[in-house]
Structure 1
Amino acid sequence: MITLEVPVLTTTGTPWQELEARECGWWMAPEPEAIRGALAMALRQSDATRTAMGRRGRDLVTSTYTWRAVGRRVYEWLLGAGASRPSFIRESGSLH
C-alpha cells in the first residue's frame, strides 16, 4: 500500500474545516482567486513544512475518518460510554 502524506487544499464545499486548525491543509472558498491564493501559499512552504502538514493530515484521517475510528465513536455512543451522539448520525424518530 502506498501512503501519501501531503497537505490538502480543498474548498468550503467540503466538511473539513479542521484542516487549517490542525495545520494539515487549506480550506478556502470555492472561488478561483481563493484557490489560487491557497495554492500559492502551499507552494511557498518549505518541503519540511509540507511534509509535516501531510503527516498531521494522515494522523487526522487515521484518528477521525477510518472505519475503525468511526466505528469506535458509534459503539462508545451506543454503549453510553460518555460519548455524545456522533454528528453523522441523524435521529429520525420512530423505528417502525
Structure 2
Amino acid sequence: MPVLVAQRGGPCAACGAPVLKGERIEYTLGAGPRHLACADRSPELRRNQHAASCVLCGVQVPRGAGALSVTETCEGGAYTRRWAVSCVDFLACHERIVARLPGLQSR
C-alpha cells in the first residue's frame, strides 16, 4: 500500500477520524485515505463528498449519505475513472427498484 502525505483533510476510511493536511497516510483509490495506525483495518464505507443520484435506483443521495465506488479502465493508453454513488440502505433501494418494474411487485 502506498504511503503518501495528505494533500487535503478528510475522514479516515477505517476509523472516520479526521485526516489532517500534511499527515502521512496510506491511500488506495478504492478505499480512500487511512491513518498509518489504521492501515491494518479494513475500510468501512467510502462516503460520497457530493450529492448525487444513486446509480441503482436513481434517488438523490445527500452528501456523505451514500457509498462511493470507483472503476478504472484503460483503453488505448488513456485511463478513465468512473465514480458511482449508491444508497447505504440497500433494502429501501431495492424496494424503489422493484416499485419501478412492472410485474415484480407481487413477487
Question: Which structure dedicates a bigger proportion of its chain to strand?
Answer: 2
| Higher relative helix content | 1
* TM-score bracket, shorter-length normalisation: under 0.3
TM-score (norm 1): 0.25
Q: Which has the higher contact order (CA 8 A, sep 6+)?
A: 1
Q: TM-score, normalised by structure 2?
A: 0.24
